[in-house]
Structure 1
Amino acid sequence: MSRDEVDRALEHLRDEKQRIGTALLELEGHQGYQLLEGAAVEGETRRVQATVQSRMSAMWALFDLYTRALGAAEELRTRHSRPGQADLARLTWLLSGPSVELPAEEVPLERRTLLSVPTGERLTLEAAVKRMTPLYEEVARAVAALDTVWSALLSRLAEVEAERRAALSLRDALGAADPELDRLAADLAAAGATVRSDPMAMARDGRADTARLDALHAALGGARRRLEDAERLRAGFDERLRALGGLLDEVRAAEAAAAAHRDEVLAKIASPVLPDLPALSGGLDRRLAALGRGGDWSGLAARVADLERAARAALEEARRTAEVIRGLLDRREELRGRLEGYRVKAARLGLAEDAALAEMYEHARRLLWSSPCDLRKATVTLSDYQQAITTRTKGAER
């Protein structure tokens, strides 16, 4: 190299050294690296940690040797403002020759001789950078993957632990044992230990697998809501019972209405096909009386909620049954209205004096206004009456 070539090479290599040093420091400052540095990890994460530490040590060792060789060239160039041929030859060797000497490795026993000595490998500055590059890329990938997985898991874990604390706080306020919550808390502690000690064991395809934490979050959320129900029940127990008592009153009233409709139908409709009368209010009353007060508020809240659901279902069934029974009377009223409508139609068409039609009308009327009313016969008779009116109208048009 000429003096100008040496100076250009030194300038380039100084910039390269600066960029390499900055990159290594930034890598060590990365959140993923900081999470891993000095952490007590195990399993797959321990393997990643060992790989990262090994590769980083190798890079820093190479960078130190690179810096020494470059420093020797800088020192020589500084001492000789007008270097001679010998100095230029030395500078050329330092800058482009195998000036980076790696630590000597022991010769394997089977290849040793009595006078063998350890030998080290020599690299050029360019070759040293090429050797550091894949090490850097491997560490960067490992650190980024670990950071992605660990950050996602720690974030999700924090949310689940907040759900657990809320549920435990409610349980303590209620002052009652909750084996299910204790089991979930133990499961979360085990999952949390795995997240903190071996997050890569909970990774799938380079991404955090939060399925276990998600399931615990859902279960703890359910436990928290159950305990909130218990707390609300304790705070408003008397009002809740009064509302439940009122709901049962509605059930009894609806059952009574269904029975009254049944009695009316049996008196007014011949041979009706009726559904069985609902009779659930008595059992619901006994369940209400057996609820008690205090103690296991969580269990009591579940029983109250179950009784409320049962009462609402019973009320719906009683009302539906009453509607079905009452429908037979409504059907009779509908047929009466249609009969009168057909009579008016016949009169409008000039058939008021038709004796056969008049007889059919009277027959249908007797059926519909008698008690008990035979709805089937009345329906058939009414249909015949309507058909007769239609037939006579068509005959008159011809």
Structure 2
Amino acid sequence: MGVTDPAGPVMDRDEVDRALARLGAEHEAIETSLLALQDHAGRRLLEGAALTGVTAERWAATEASITLLWAYFDAYSGALRSAREIRSRRRWSSREDLVELTGLLRGEAVTVAGSAAAVAGAPTLHGGPGRLSERYSLSALVDRMNELYAASLDVVVAADAVWSALPARIDLLAAELQRTRQLAHSVGVRPGEHPAGDDLERITRTLTRLREQVISDPLAFWVPAQGSSAPGGGRPDTTVYDREARALEDVRREIDAVLTVRQDAEKRLVRLRDVLSRADRTLAEARTARGEVLAKIAATEVPVVSGPPTALQEQLATAAEYRRHAQWHRLSPLLERLEEKAEEELLRARESLTAVTAPLAVRAELRGRLDAYKAKVARHGLAEEPELVERYEKARRMLWSAPCDLRVAEQAVLRYQQAAAEALGGPGASAVPRQYGPQDSRGEP
């Protein structure tokens, strides 16, 4: 069993050399990391920024941690330097040297003064704030430095990531916002006069406030990665930025629609006038047809035909006025409503004409059916049959007289149709199909 001391079994020369080599490599790696942290762009920005909120609190603690890190590193360097000096005394270290080296390399031989952490917000030494110093083994000191380094680097990397991502994007969006504001102003979209103008004002205020907050408190816009222990694991929180970018895109589409109105306004107004003119002509035709129906068709209820759409004509005049005064933001929604209502008005006029002329269509169908049966019996040489002649003439007088009672005339046509069917071959003879064609004007009163 080997000789022991409070640090454990005494190390032999090979163990000492391997430990010194490992600690030397760790020392070099720690020094490189600390220098990189010292030169990190994020740390320099944090050091010179006017911080607020979460970032101000965390950076105060991080600055103290970095100061403490260098104090730990100096203590670590001193202990390693002492161990190397002892080892370099002799090529073959004596037992006393090995005992001393074992204490340095494995025991709690490194003392860190409490004053090293005596700055505002500094992490306290292990053991509580009342301790004036603390002793570490070299391996424990490395663990402590790694812990502080990871926490410090996390703050620096997170702040740098937010500053690298968000301000530039906000500036680009603000430039696009400025172009959109100028475009909106050119088409009359202004705050207080158009919702899109109010939206642009709100987006402007939000982006200005967002940029100020990102610059002064970047860590408030950092989302740590779930389950990640690596320093700087996470992403910038772009929720507000994304929302305002979408809002600006919506406004831009609305302004593009207004621009389209400016380009197409005259053509659309001409088209609207044409649609309303056709609706007026159709209604006029329906009113004329109604008078004709009332004069020529007896015992028929004819729908009343409404007058021209004066309200739409007034709105059309308003639209033309908007165009003359370049009030495109007002013209755009008005044109959309007018186009929809004008098409509805034309459809209503056509339906009115169809409803009014329905009795004339029925009379024309009865006339066509009567003539079709007469032609059929004539082909069979039965046109001069007295009963057929009598029934034909009776039906014809009813259909070509004014006013025409459609119900009575239809019964007369049916009687002629039945007589013709019997003459052609009995009740089972094939009947001539109903003829739906254009109105026959022969002999029309």
In structure 1, what is the equivalent of residue 240 of structure 2?
212
* Contact 2:261 2:332 survives alignment (8 Å): no
In structure 2, what is the equivalent of residue 114 of structure 1?
none
Q: Is 2:214 the partner of 1:195?
A: yes
1:154 alignment partner, one of 167, 172, 182: 167
Map Cα deviations across residues 273-300 of structure 1 (whole Å, 9 max, x no partner).
Answer: 3574433443034314533755xx5xx1
What RMSD, in angstroms, separates the aligned Cα atoms of the two structures?
A: 4.9
In structure 1, what is the equivalent of residue 354 of structure 2?
327
Quote the offset at 1:228 in angstroms: 5.7
2:48 alignment partner, one of 38, 48, 63: 38
What amino acid is the match of 1:82?
A: W
CA distance 1:214–1:40, shift in 2 (3 Å): same
Question: Structure 2 length as normaliser, TM-score?
Answer: 0.64
In structure 2, what is the equivalent of residue 310 of structure 1?
337
2:271 alignment partner, one of 227, 231, 247: 247
* Contact 1:95 1:124 survives alignment (8 Å): yes
In structure 2, what is the equivalent of residue 111 of structure 1?
none
The within-5 A match list for 1:114-263 is 119-146=132-159, 149-154=162-167, 156-170=169-183, 178=191, 180=198, 181-182=200-201, 184-202=203-221, 208-224=236-252, 242-263=266-287
Once residues 374 and 205 of structure 1 are traced to their aligned partners in structure 2, the CA distance between those partners, rounded to angstroms, is 89
What amino acid is the match of 2:290?
A: L
CA distance 1:45–1:325, shift in 2 (3 Å): same
CA distance 1:319–1:138, shift in 2 (3 Å): same
Once residues 30 and 275 of structure 1 are traced to their aligned partners in structure 2, the CA distance between those partners, rounded to angstroms, is 84
The share of aligned pairs that are identical, in percent, is: 29
Once residues 365 and 123 of structure 1 are traced to their aligned partners in structure 2, the CA distance between those partners, rounded to angstroms, is 128
The within-5 A match list for 1:42-53 is 42-53=52-63
What amino acid is the match of 1:255?
A: A
CA distance 1:337–1:124, shift in 2 (3 Å): farther
Q: Is 2:314 the partner of 1:283?
A: yes
SS at match of 2:48: coil
Map Cα deviations across residues 96-124 of structure 1 (whole Å, 9 max, x no partner).
Answer: 12222111459xxxxxxxxxx98421111
* Contact 1:280 1:314 survives alignment (8 Å): no
* Contact 1:258 1:321 survives alignment (8 Å): no
For structure 1, the 5+ residue unaligned runs are: 107-116
Q: Is 2:281 the partner of 1:271?
A: no
Once residues 40 and 311 of structure 2 are traced to their aligned partners in structure 1, the CA distance between those partners, rounded to angstroms, is 68
CA distance 1:293–1:35, shift in 2 (3 Å): farther
Once residues 402 and 142 of structure 2 are traced to their aligned partners in structure 1, the CA distance between those partners, rounded to angstroms, is 109
For structure 2, the 5+ residue unaligned runs are: 1-10, 117-129, 193-197, 226-234, 294-299, 430-445
What amino acid is the match of 2:143?
A: K
Quote the offset at 1:331 in angstroms: 8.8
* Contact 1:184 1:220 survives alignment (8 Å): yes
Quote the offset at 1:2 in angstroms: 1.4
Once residues 371 and 49 of structure 1 are traced to their aligned partners in structure 2, the CA distance between those partners, rounded to angstroms, is 102
Once residues 28 and 381 of structure 1 are traced to their aligned partners in structure 2, the CA distance between those partners, rounded to angstroms, is 110
Quote the offset at 1:226 in angstroms: 5.6
Once residues 340 and 181 of structure 2 are traced to their aligned partners in structure 1, the CA distance between those partners, rounded to angstroms, is 33
Once residues 7 and 200 of structure 1 are traced to their aligned partners in structure 2, the CA distance between those partners, rounded to angstroms, is 45
* Contact 1:69 1:94 survives alignment (8 Å): yes
Quote the offset at 1:309 in angstroms: 1.8
Quote the offset at 1:187 in angstroms: 3.3
What amino acid is the match of 1:279?
A: T
* Contact 1:229 1:301 survives alignment (8 Å): no
Map Cα deviations across residues 140-159 of structure 1 (whole Å, 9 max, x no partner).
Answer: 44445545555554354234
SS at match of 1:132: helix
Once residues 161 and 396 of structure 2 are traced to their aligned partners in structure 1, the CA distance between those partners, rounded to angstroms, is 84
In structure 1, what is the equivalent of residue 85 of structure 2?
75
Once residues 106 and 140 of structure 2 are traced to their aligned partners in structure 1, the CA distance between those partners, rounded to angstroms, is 10
Larger Rg computed on CA atoms: 2
Once residues 371 and 32 of structure 1 are traced to their aligned partners in structure 2, the CA distance between those partners, rounded to angstroms, is 100
Once residues 40 and 131 of structure 1 are traced to their aligned partners in structure 2, the CA distance between those partners, rounded to angstroms, is 30
Once residues 22 and 381 of structure 1 are traced to their aligned partners in structure 2, the CA distance between those partners, rounded to angstroms, is 113
Once residues 23 and 48 of structure 1 are traced to their aligned partners in structure 2, the CA distance between those partners, rounded to angstroms, is 20
CA distance 1:217–1:323, shift in 2 (3 Å): same
Greater per-residue helix proportion: 1
SS at match of 1:134: helix
Once residues 284 and 39 of structure 2 are traced to their aligned partners in structure 1, the CA distance between those partners, rounded to angstroms, is 83
What amino acid is the match of 1:291?
A: Y
Once residues 115 and 403 of structure 2 are traced to their aligned partners in structure 1, the CA distance between those partners, rounded to angstroms, is 115
Provide the aligned length of Structure 1 versus Structure 2: 371
What amino acid is the match of 1:283?
A: E
Quote the offset at 1:62 in angstroms: 1.5
CA distance 1:83–1:204, shift in 2 (3 Å): closer
Once residues 259 and 200 of structure 1 are traced to their aligned partners in structure 2, the CA distance between those partners, rounded to angstroms, is 70
